[in-house]
Amino acid sequence: MARGREFSALPSFAVEKQQWPGVGVTLALSESAVELRTTAGSLRMDNATGRWVLRDARARVVFEAAACGFEGPRPRLALVLRDGESIHGLGEMTGPLDRRGLVREFWNIDVLGHASCLHSGLRSSYVSIPFALNLHRGRAAGLFWDNPARQVWDMGHASPDRWSLRADSGEMDLYLFTGPRVPEIVERFTELTGRTPLPPRWALGYHQCRFGYTSRAEVERVAAEMRRRRFPCDALWLDIDHMDGHRVFTFGKRFPRPREMLAKLRRAGFRVVAIANPGVKNDPKFAVLRRGRALDAFVKDAGGRRDFVGKVWPGRSRFPDFLDVRVRRWWAREQAKFMRAGLDGIWCDMNEPALFDTPGKTLPGDCVHRPAEKTTATHAAVHNLYGQAMAAAAREGALLAKPRERPFVLTRAGYAGIQRHAAVWTGDNSSTWEHLAASVPALLNLGLSGVAFCGTDVGGFLDSPTPELFARWMQLGALMPFFRNHSNKDSRPQEPWEFGPEVERICRDAIRLRYRLRPYLEQCFTEAHERGWPVMRPLLFHFQDDAVAAACNDQFLLGAHLLVAPVLAPGVASRSVYLPRGRWRDVWSWRAFRGGRHILAPAPLDRVPLFVREGAGKSVAIRKLRV
């Protein structure tokens, strides 16, 4: 729905599948209403008020809009919420799995620029995916509003039975999913927005990172220690300290002879991923800046004539207009040149984009982009696309550098469809039990939103974990889709041997468990690639008719067969576990349990409660887990 007579020329950066087979539609027009019917259901809209009702094939109400239209330039929609209806998905979120009663603002931010930490009341985050999966009496439905401007969704907060959705500008591009099965909806949403490509095998392993590996010698020390202590580890990461004065795609003096360093690490079995920030240092002698300017590649100031210049890590910087396909191609070439030194992946950070010195800590809303030929858009209208478009360029660059290998890109910011381009990590968390526990619903909602390849900073980024917290985080991390230990400059060292011999052994066992599970994980990623199903699934994914399962925030399914009940609090020696219907086996004791009830599972510090579902026996990978 558009406000004027024409639709905007802004292409969708979310939708991948543009061509769909035709469906037979019956159109009934009367004075007061329009009704569309297909074999899947019907939509009836009232001409005067814009109210509409979507019904499924059996005429059951799926969504009911009490209001729909424009308030000045702002599209808005008000949906009726029913008793017991829950709302999930919504991309990257803090707080519980069910979003009912809360407000979500879709506006990508560098959280630390706006709040002192990630907390459960945060309205915005680094990634915005305006997609919801609703569950009501065991029946699910989905809604996706493709609009990359700021959106605010009040989901029964101001008024308990109203779900009000507003955007600052743009159109009402709604996709409605009649369900009623959860897997179907996620499958369909990812058919529309694309699916996670198969990652390289090494990317499913253990990753070691830190903001604070400041020299080649330090990286090599960590590598040597990893091998000496016999930790399986596939990748080491370079944070911003490898750069020359924070100039993107460079190595500074503290990382001499990078080719030699990378070749040596590779021989020791490590892949290396380096960070890339969008801001290009405004240094007239810097070759990347010069080539970018020659191409007229940067986002423009209000008015559209001069390049916008703003402050971030490199100091005053210009910002590539990734929405422009020419700029993505150029960036891909620059990145490929850098990667040819021997890098295996790229980590896109600060791509909300985050700025240090502007009022909103991002590009001003009146900056100008060029999302298609002869089409301009203000930054405010396309803000949530910036990180996504950068990630797309990064994937293209990785493919250019190594055309025969599966690319690996990690991104902090993104929009609906980000899974086509990159894995997502949830940004700057803290080393607290609350943030460990928050990892679970955050990753589950990301998974429901199409992002199968995701993880949180293991051990926590800010502050320092206790040995116990670190051990529990490694145990959870080993069962998350993306498994990377990362910490901040002023945190205590966080390599897995830094917490004494007991925790070192527990961490090694947790990592080894992941490597034993790798064949199974690969099957899960194949499912993500082929059907869009999450790797880490909420219980409601397979047990949507079970209200206890649907409300579960602190357990998850890894693929269809494994149930994980991580320990998320200190001092725990056993925990309550809900087993949904069916028969389950405790992976450690091989005891069998009948589901549909809670049990108490032993959970000493060296063990994470893990259950395999009966019928999974055919899966060799799982049978091997038996200890």
Give me the residues that bind ligand MIG (CB under 6 A), please. Answer: 211, 239-240, 275, 349-350, 412, 427-428, 461, 486
Instruction: Please give the structure tokens belonging to residue 482.
Output: 């993306």
Smallest gap from residue 580 Cβ to ligand MIG (A)? 35
Cα gap 348→387, rounded to integer Å? 8
The answer to whether 348 touches 249, Cβ cutoff 8 Å, is no
Smallest gap from residue 423 Cβ to ligand MIG (A)? 14
DSSP state of 299: P
Cα gap 99→78, rounded to integer Å? 16
CB count in 10 Å sphere of residue 600: 10
By C-beta, is 338 or 461 nearer to ligand MIG?
Answer: 461
Give 449: exposed, middle or buried? Use CB within 10 Å, 0-12, 13-18, 19+.
buried
Smallest gap from residue 514 Cβ to ligand MIG (A)? 21
Smallest gap from residue 351 Cβ to ligand MIG (A)? 10
Give catalytic residues, as residue numbers. Answer: 349, 352, 428
Beta bridge partners of 134: 87, 141
Q: Going edge to edge, which strands form the sheet with 423-425? A: 454-455, 423-425, 409-411, 345-348, 271-276, 235-238, 207-208, 484-485, 457-458
Number of residues assigned to the chain: 627
By C-beta, is 240 or 616 nearer to ligand MIG?
Answer: 240
Cα gap 122→59, rounded to integer Å? 38
End-to-end alpha carbon distance in the chain: 58
Instruction: Please give the structure tokens belonging to residue 361.
Output: 């800590």
By C-beta, is 139 or 412 nearer to ligand MIG?
Answer: 412
Smallest gap from residue 44 Cβ to ligand MIG (A)? 47
By C-beta, is 391 or 567 nearer to ligand MIG?
Answer: 391
Cα gap 504→497, rounded to integer Å? 5
Residue type, 347: W
Cα gap 516→397, rounded to integer Å? 32
Smallest gap from residue 84 Cβ to ligand MIG (A)? 37
Between the alpha carbon of residue 470 and those of residues 231, 234, 312, 440, the distances in Å are: 16, 20, 31, 16
Smallest gap from residue 110 Cβ to ligand MIG (A)? 7
By C-beta, is 163 or 386 nearer to ligand MIG?
Answer: 386
The answer to whether 575 touches 601, Cβ cutoff 8 Å, is yes
Q: Tokens 């240094």 belong to which residue? A: 283
Q: Going edge to edge, which strands form the sheet with 151-155? A: 26-29, 33-38, 41-46, 52-56, 61-71, 74-80, 162-167, 151-155, 103-106
The answer to whether 146 touches 175, Cβ cutoff 8 Å, is yes
Q: Which helix (H) or strand (E) holds 71?
A: strand 61-71
Cα gap 592→539, rounded to integer Å? 19
By C-beta, is 428 or 586 nearer to ligand MIG?
Answer: 428
- By beta carbon distance, the residue nearest ligand MIG is 211
Smallest gap from residue 296 Cβ to ligand MIG (A)? 28
Half-sphere exposure of residue 354, counting CA atoms within 13 Å on the CB side? 22
What are the start-end ranges of the E strands in 461-560? 484-485, 536-537, 556-558
By C-beta, is 246 or 329 nearer to ligand MIG?
Answer: 246
The answer to whether 401 touches 335, Cβ cutoff 8 Å, is yes
Smallest gap from residue 332 Cβ to ligand MIG (A)? 22
